[in-house]
Structure 1
Amino acid sequence: MKHLFLLVVVSIVAVSCKTTRNLHSKEFLRTQQELTEKLTQISKTTSFNGFGVALVNDKEVLYQNGFGISNIRENTKYTESTVQNIASVSKTVIGIAILKAQELGHLNLDEPVSKYLPFNVFNPEHPEVPITIRHLVTHTSSIVDTEEYLTRNVILKDTINLVQNLNIDISPTRFNPPSTKISLEDFLKNLLDTGGAWYTKEAFSTKEPGSTFEYSNVGASLAALVLEKAVGTTYDAFTTQYILLPLKMNSSGWSFDAIDFSKYSPTYQDKQTPYPYYSLVGYPDGGLLTTSSDMGKYILELMKGYFGNGTLLSEQSYKEYFTPQLTAENFINRSTSEYSDEYNMGITMGFGSTGNFGHTGGDPGMSSVIWFFKDKRMGRYFIVNTDWDSNSSGKDQKAIYDLLDDYYIRLNSLSKSKK
């Protein structure tokens, strides 16, 4: 969910930057090590226990690493191989998956979702206006997140300390016992079908489908369900086959069973108090489990795709993915912040007012962001495993960003792609 950062040298670099080992100059490796040392110093005083970063140009991963603590009870270090959920940054995968399915001839962005769904979804205020797949992936479907969605989506992994954990305040969401977990299809049917157990007209805004931007987690997950019905397999299986495996994101997956759980980081209410382990019923909208190393591969692919050199999609599909789909008329309160991902929308990819693009994410005990600077040809990933502290986390994030931005210039100039 959203809405919401020389022996010793050689040994450390070999661990933290495997993708560049033996491929770069000693100066490049020394520069990476300088960055590692400075981020390590920052990690000793941050308001979050652990954080991961990755940095790419349009040709290669320049840097990826993890810092601080992953598990305070076991004193486990946060590394580039630490697994975390990335929340709404996961939505960027939905867009790629939909466009891949379109390339394969399974669906078309401008088709109504009713063509594929086993239940009927329509806005009761505008029943004659079909909701299309494009509406879902640009957050203009008129489907909104109700209290029923918010309070039923987050599921505890186990029943340890169940009563205590169910009472943890994670407003506006809440934890639910494992026994309440249901399939994605049943979850969305209960929310959006007129005969669904939790259906309410308030699941739709009064705006006509296609007319108005309103960020929708439910709409994003519905796009994933449409894909499932169109391709005849599950969303996690399709995205694993066409995205995770081709990019060799071998430490990533959509469930605890799909990853090495021994490397999974708890998330934290503060630096001392962990949250219980949890997952999402609507997992496509926020449930990708991954590492900084794998995210380096992912954001590199996105940067390559933006410049016409991607491998997952055709050049035409990537152009669609990165084309802002909306106009000023589609917004009521348009966010004009340079780093907001809601000034415009591609196909699940957000755009800021400067034309740079990316996506943010936040769930209990974590925040994440991918952001791309098109003129610099720079992509940046940042994730933390602790709730945001309004007094200090922003300052910590800025210090980390400033270092990454400074060292991007140096690493990019020394990149093997520049030789």
Structure 2
Amino acid sequence: MNERRRSLLGMALAGAVEPLFAMPAASGTQAGRQALDAELAAIVNDPALQLASLSVLAIRAGQPVYEGAFGRRHIGNGALPDKPATLDTLYRIASISKMMTTLGLMRLVEAGRMELDADVSNYLGFRLRNPHFPDRPITLRTLLTHRSSLRDEAGYSWPLATSLKDVLVPGDPKSWSNRAGPGDWFTYCNLGWGVIGTAMERVTGERFDLLMGRLLLQPLGITAGYNPSLLPPAALEKLATLYRKRTVDTEIWNPDGPWIPQVDDYSGKPPAPPAGIATYVPGTNATPFSPTGGLRISARGMGVVMRMLMNGGVHENKRLFERATLERMFARQWTHDGTNGDSLGGFFNAWGLGNAQFPDRPGMRLVEDGGFEAVGHLGDAYGLRSVFAFDPARRNGVIVLAGGVSSDPERDKGRYSALARYEERILTALYRHAIVGNPAPT
């Protein structure tokens, strides 16, 4: 994961709000929209914890009912012009990328090219084993459910010139649990998705960023990608820089100081392709494309994905997934019971194949007072916090992309969940105004 408000008048400075869809009638239509606009703008501009930018989208009964953009996708700090966030602003969505990678993988599984319970060594071309449990194979299922026994302590991304085989065989001891073998214990692990992406490359012979374009993004008509150097100029112009009011790679915050770019600041020059890409052999090391957290996409683009999932794998009358494949992907695989994994303070309570699950129970809820049982994923990296959550049965969903914070979100603890309080406020506002259509004061 750890890849982990003034008035409506303030929106003129903070950015543009450009709602596209009609609000549901129960919300009071225009009055409901204005109330939600004002509430989200107040969250963005809260002096206690400001947000650099915010893009949101809500879907009710399978139809988009609200979208909004607030704040600034690029902050010039007086040296360059500010650029407002818009409805088409792309963000590096952090760990929600894992769920998108999983969708690409499930297309290969559906096609019979990969199997969830086969030894992943068969796809990598080398024997991948936890040295403490050498007789127990690691499978895609254990990787997708964070129970592979891999660990992130020795890192999870290396230059293209470095073979993943050389990193993992025999491997840094810190890359492996010495107490829990494959399938035994849940520990959130970014490295698993580097392994998955590399296996996908070797099976197909295609570079990961291009492969995900073919498998998922292009069929959905989405301008997005895991390699920002390949984004077309128009999309690159819309890419949000992620910010914190703290120096890069430190924990030193200065809420009264300037917004400091953390990643995707291309105001001076465009993004360079990963070093060595011209001679890279697919299936060697996909980690520079960050299957774990590197997808750049807009809230609107994520909404296209969400509606396809709500429609059982169909997009614009064309089937991309069999319904059974998606049911398999979002079926519950693991539930935290206090003895079978690390919930990271309540963030991880239940898991499917490459997706988090949010039971509508105290301490696990996404919205205040409950009512929204969901599946999806969270993201947290470089100041960004992101949410992709939907109820497949009712076909309700919310997408949140917050592009940076002015102070330590660990000091902004949520009231009813492991999320930050500002995330709770955004999610609850979207749910009450746009989905339920019966807002209550906060």
User: TM over 0.5: same fold?
Assistant: yes
Residue 352 of structure 1 corresponds to 358
Deviations 1:29-88 (A, max 9, x none): 664454334423443335211111111134222222210122120211111211210110
Which sits farther off after the overlay, 356-365 or 277-286?
277-286
Give the equivalent residue in structure 1 for 2:13: none
Structure 2 counterpart of 1:70:
73
With 380-389 and 368-377 compared, the bigger mean Cα shift is at 368-377
Q: Distance in 1 between matches of 2:357 and 2:314?
A: 16
Paired letter, 1:16:
E
The question of whether the paired residues in 1 share the 8 Å contact of 2:335 and 2:351 is answered with no
Distance (whole Å) between structure 1 residues aligned to residue 112 and residue 426 of structure 2: 43
- After superposition, the C-alpha distances for 1:210-244 in whole angstroms (9 at most, x for unaligned) are 22212111012211111111122122222212211
Q: Deviations over 1:262-311 (max 9, x none)?
A: 22221112172322535972510000001121122122223333999994
The CA distance in 2 between the partners of 1:360 and 1:57, in whole Å, is 20
1:55 alignment partner, SS class: strand
Question: Which stretch shows the higher mean deviation, 320-329 or 78-87?
Answer: 320-329
Q: Where does residue 280 of structure 2 map in the other structure? A: none
Deviations 1:333-360 (A, max 9, x none): 45498xx552222110112343632211
- The aligned residue for residue 147 of structure 1 is 154
Per-residue deviation at 1:131?
0.8
Cα separation, 1, equivalents of 2:35 and 2:23: 18
Can you list the C-alpha shifts for 1:379-417, whole angstroms capped at 9, x where unaligned? 1111211145334483433332222111223569xxxxx
Give 1:153-232 correspondences, 5 Å limit. 153=157, 182-183=159-160, 186=162, 188-194=164-170, 199-206=171-178, 207-232=180-205
Deviation at 1:113, TM superposition (A): 0.9
Q: Which residue of the other structure, out of 121, 132, 138, is the alignment partner of 1:131?
A: 138
Other structure's SS at 1:189 match: helix
Hey, what does 2:18 align to over in structure 1?
16
Q: Which amino acid aligns with 1:117?
A: L
Equivalent residue, structure 2, for 1:298: 305
Residue 354 of structure 2 is aligned to residue 342 of structure 1: no
Give the match's secondary structure for 2:137: coil
1:70, 1:93 → 2: CA distance?
23
Q: 1:235 aligns with which of 181, 185, 208?
A: 208
Give, in whole Å, the separation in 1 of the partners of 2:110 and 2:393.
Answer: 29
Which of 296, 320, 323 in structure 1 is aligned with 2:331? 323
Letter in 2 for 1:40: A
Q: Indicate the residue corresponding to 2:283 in structure 1.
A: none
Which residue in the other structure is 1:171 paired with? none
Query: Are the structure 2 counterparts of residues 342 and 187 from structure 1 closer, same or farther at C-alpha, using a change threshold of 3 Å?
Result: farther
Structure 2 vs 1, CA of residues 104 and 212 (structure 1 numbering), >3 Å: closer, same or farther?
same
Q: Does the 8 Å contact 1:87/1:287 carry over to 2?
A: yes
Give the counterpart letter for 1:262 in structure 2. Answer: E
1:275-286 correspondence to structure 2 within 5 Å: 275-277=261-263, 281=288, 283-286=290-293
Q: Which residue identity is paired with 1:138?
A: T
For 1:380, the equivalent position in structure 2 comes to 398
Aligned equivalents of 1:44 and 1:214: distance in 2?
35
Residue pair 1:242, 1:312 contacting (<8 A) in 2 also: no
Q: Per the alignment, do residues 392 and 214 of structure 1 end up closer, same or farther by CA in structure 2, a change over 3 Å counting?
A: closer
Partners of 1:113 and 1:327 in 2: how far apart?
24
Tell me the distance in 1 between the aligned counterparts of 2:409 and 2:241: 17
* Contact 1:372-1:378 at 8 Å conserved across structures: yes
Percent of matched pairs sharing the same residue = 25
| Alignment correspondent of 2:11 | none
- Alpha-carbon deviation of 1:119? 3.0
Secondary structure of 1:241's partner?
helix
Q: TM-score when scaled to structure 2?
A: 0.73
Instruction: Work out the CA distance in 2 between the residues paired with 1:233 and 1:107.
Output: 15
- Residue 202 of structure 1: how far off its partner (Å): 2.4
Match of 1:178 in 2: none
User: What letter matches 2:352 in structure 1?
Assistant: G
**One-letter code of the match for 1:49?**
A
Q: Indicate the larger mover: 371-380 or 327-336.
A: 327-336
1:70 partner SS:
strand
Q: Which runs of 5+ in 1 are unaligned?
A: 6-13, 154-180, 413-419
Structure 2 residue aligned with 1:261: 236
> Are the counterparts in 1 of residues 89 and 240 from structure 2 also a CA contact under 8 Å?
yes
For the 8 Å contact 1:86–1:361, the answer to whether it is kept is yes
Match among 330, 340, 360 for residue 332 of structure 1: 340
**Cα distance in 2 between the residues matched to 1:334 and 1:277:** 29
Deviations 1:12-42 (A, max 9, x none): xx98344x48999997566445433442344
Judge conservation of contact 2:187–2:342 (CA < 8 Å) in 1: no
TM-score by length of 1: 0.77
Determine which structure has the larger helix proportion and give its number. Answer: 1
Aligned to 1:43: 44
Distance 1:330 1:346 in 2: 18
For 1:263, give the aligned amino acid: K
Q: Secondary structure at the match of 2:312?
A: helix
Aligned counterparts of 1:36 and 1:277: Cα–Cα separation in 2: 28
RMSD (Å), alpha carbons: 3.5
Residues 237 and 24 (structure 1), Cα distance of their counterparts in 2 relative to 1, 3 Å cut: farther
- AA at the equivalent of 1:186: T
| In the alignment, structure 1 residue 362 sits paired with structure 2 residue 380 | yes
User: Does 2:402 align with 1:402?
Assistant: no
Q: Which segments of 5 or more consecutive residues in structure 2 lack a partner in the other structure?
A: 6-15, 246-254, 265-273, 275-286, 361-372, 414-419
Residues 307, 398 of structure 1: CA spacing in aligned structure 2 closer, same or farther, 3 A cutoff?
farther
SS at match of 2:2: coil
